[in-house]
Structure formats: C-alpha cells, structure tokens
Structure 1
C-alpha cells in the first residue's frame, strides 16, 4: 500500500516537472525573437535550447510505462530550466510579444513603463 502511494507521488512529481518544461517550451516557441532582445534576455534560440532540453530530460525521467525512468537525477536541472523561463523570462518578454493579454489591451502597462 505505501509502496504504491510512493510510486504515485514519484510519478506525479516527475510528470509535473515535464508539464512545466513543456509549457515553457511551447511559450518560447510562440514568442517573437525580437521580444527576447528587447526584454534584455538571452536569444530565443538559447531559450528554445534550454526549454527543449529540459522537456526532453523531464520526459525521459518520468517513470515507466509513460517515460523511461532514466536520468531521474537530471530532472532537477529540467525543473530549474523550465521554472526560470516561466518565472523570469516569460514575464519580461510578454510586453514585447505584440499580443493582447487577458482581453484588456495588454494588461494596462505599456512596455515602456507608462499607463
């Protein structure tokens, strides 16, 4: 019983890391390259490489039967790569992406800091 619960928790944690990494990769793919430069972050290709590698490692680390269960020690690095993008880079490049957020004209602030 406890072993089954441990396996379920283990699976849930690794699957969550995979979801965050995949979300970061999809978001990086949809942002224009100029937004990264305008925000003062590294290039789009750099973040695509980081989030792509994080997604691949996170998928491989998911326990069988979905993933391979290999390289599970690298899942922490995958989590860091995805979370850094989502917490630091994504909010910085969002104003320069040319999209409207939340249906209210981009959230209120312009990229230059004014209203």
Structure 2
C-alpha cells in the first residue's frame, strides 16, 4: 500500500513541477500578443489574461508545500484554461484564415 502512496506523491510532484514552465509559457505568450486580438476573439482583455496567468504562475512558484497543499491546482487550472481555450483563438485571429 505504501508503494501506491509513494506513486501518487510522485505523480503530483511531477505535475506540479511541469506546471511551472507551462505557467511561464502561458504568461509570456499572453504578454507578447496584441491586445486587440483578445477582444476580437471574444475573450477577456489582455491585461486580465496577463493577470490571470501571472497570478497562476506565482501560485505555482510560491507554493511552499509543493503538490501537497492543492493550492497549486488553482494556478494550473488558470494556466491551462489560457493554453487550451484562449491561446488557440488569439493565434487564429492574428494569423488569419487557414485557407
């Protein structure tokens, strides 16, 4: 039974550690985009998404107890919402149609 507990701990640790560079990528990506692309994609404004991803990254980086506090889940969810939902629409708006 302790092997399963240790495996669970290692999986959470890996997810937490992978969340930090993903959060950094999302924050930098949000900073580098044009502000009109966010409103054209019917998403929140650029400063709001920069704040959301920045706070998410800060939560991931500052979380002192690592994956055991589950506060980092708030940060990773905020970052993943940007990566999965907002980023593709903003990139699509800036690149134009694919055809």
Q: Taking structure 2 as the reference length, what is the TM-score of the superposition?
A: 0.80
Paired position in structure 2 for 1:45: 47
How many residues of Structure 1 are paired with residues of Structure 2 in the alignment? 96
Alignment of 1:84-103 (within 5 A): 84-97=81-94
Aligned with residue 78 of structure 1, among 75, 79, 85 = 75
Q: Distance in 1 between matches of 2:25 and 2:65?
A: 21
Aligned with residue 69 of structure 1, among 51, 60, 65 = 65
Q: Report the secondary structure of 1:73's partner residue.
A: coil
Show structure 1 runs of 5+ residues with no match: 62-67, 98-105
Q: Taking structure 1 as the reference length, what is the TM-score of the superposition?
A: 0.70
Q: How far did residue 31 of structure 1 move?
A: 0.6
Q: Who wins on radius of gyration, i.e. which is larger? A: 1
Paired position in structure 1 for 2:19: 17
Show structure 2 runs of 5+ residues with no match: none
Paired position in structure 1 for 2:31: 29
